[in-house]
Amino acid sequence: MRRIAAAALLALLALAAGTADARQHFPARGHRILPAVSPLDAFTQPSGAHSFRKLKSTYAGPAVRLRRASDNAEVDINFLGCTGFTGCPWDEATAAAHCAATTCDIQTWYDQSGNGRHLVRGGATGPAYTAGCLSLLPCMQLTTTSTNDLVGPNIAWSVKSTFSAVASRVSGTGACVFLRKGTNQLVGMTGVANQWQVSDGVASAFTMVASDAAWHAGIGIIDGAASLGRIDATEMAGTTVAGNAAAGFLRSGGITGSTCRQAELILWDGYALTLAERQALTANQKSFWGTP
């Protein structure tokens, strides 16, 4: 009887794990326990939050809107529930079905902060939807600013800001603008390999070592003399970045000469994440996305 009961228990556990993994088509993630809660619930309210996973449990909208090349049909891709097998992912199966035998680009990357700061395509085409970027998870891929930018609202910003990006400069040394508010930005540095930059786009900036062709969880803080950066688990003091409070667009993009990929972008305007918050955020991103 004990052998039968044990066998039955093992079968149920295997079925549960198999169902969760099959639901998402992420077999490479089956041996990793993932965060089963929305990561930003315990954080200060972000000003903008864009991701291919659910970031806030109170958010009830879609993740992205995809357009397929074969007939220009568009569909919103929603999120699934949060579990220890899958984290809080989007509906990969629906995206795969919509884009089967063709390609898709991203028309809208929806803002989960509650502020309605959605990023929408700014050119003739949106960034390419790419299904298997890191740990078999999706991302967007950008190649040129002129046709691939995602652009949000043009509003007035505070000087102080925190940028968070799970991103990669895949090739080239042109700028990968991971996230920008007005002229303040977290960017793969123009013309320089293996560096990211935190800049106010006017007079002051500092760089961080971030190897190209690899995914990183990066944080950049603009806060005058207290400006700093973090790449994965390595934190570094930055030079003074004055910041720029002039009105400007929220955007994410790239330029000719580089291929850039982004999976998660979060902005805090007027707020600098504490050390404990920075540590918690990058640890959570590493657990879900598999960054270093």
Q: Are 286 and 217 in contact (CB under 8 A)?
A: yes
- What is the rounded distance in angstroms from the CA atom of residue 57 to the CA atom of residue 49? 12
Which residue would you say has higher pLDDT here, 274 or 25?
274
| pLDDT digits 0-9 by tens, 114-130 | 999 999 998 888 899 99
pLDDT score of 5 = 40
* 29, pLDDT greater than 60: no
Which residue would you say has higher pLDDT here, 164 or 12?
164
Q: Which two tokens stand for residue 32?
A: 């990793």
* 13, pLDDT greater than 70: no
| pLDDT digits 0-9 by tens, 162-212 | 999 999 999 998 889 999 999 999 999 988 999 999 999 988 999 999 999
**How, if at all, do strands 248-254 and 176-181 pair?**
antiparallel
pLDDT score of 145 = 67
Q: Which long-range contacts (CB under 8 A, 24 or more apart) does 116-119 make?
A: 117/47, 117/48, 117/152, 117/153, 117/250, 118/152, 119/50, 119/150, 119/151, 119/152, 119/250, 119/251, 119/252
What does the mean pLDDT of the chain come to? Answer: 86
Q: CB-hemisphere CA count at 13 Å for 99?
A: 20
- What is the rounded distance in angstroms from the CA atom of residue 227 to the CA atom of residue 243? 10
| pLDDT digits 0-9 by tens, 55-76 | 998 899 999 999 999 999 999 9
| pLDDT digits 0-9 by tens, 223-275 | 999 999 999 999 998 999 999 999 999 999 877 788 999 999 999 999 999 99
Q: Considering the entire predicted model, what is its pTM? A: 0.88
DSSP string, 43-100: SPPPSEEEESB---TT--S-SEEEEETTT--EEEE-B---BTTTBSBB-HHHHHHHTT
In the three-class reduction of DSSP (H, G, I as helix; E, B as strand; rest coil), residue 9 is classed as helix
* 79, pLDDT greater than 50: yes
* 27, pLDDT greater than 60: no
* 3, pLDDT greater than 80: no
- Tell which residue, 114, 64, 73, 124, has the closest CA to residue 91: 64
| pLDDT digits 0-9 by tens, 138-154 | 999 998 766 788 999 99
- What is the rounded distance in angstroms from the CA atom of residue 57 to the CA atom of residue 229? 28
pLDDT score of 148 = 84
Q: Which domains does the chain have, with CATH numbers?
A: 33-289 (2.60.120.200)
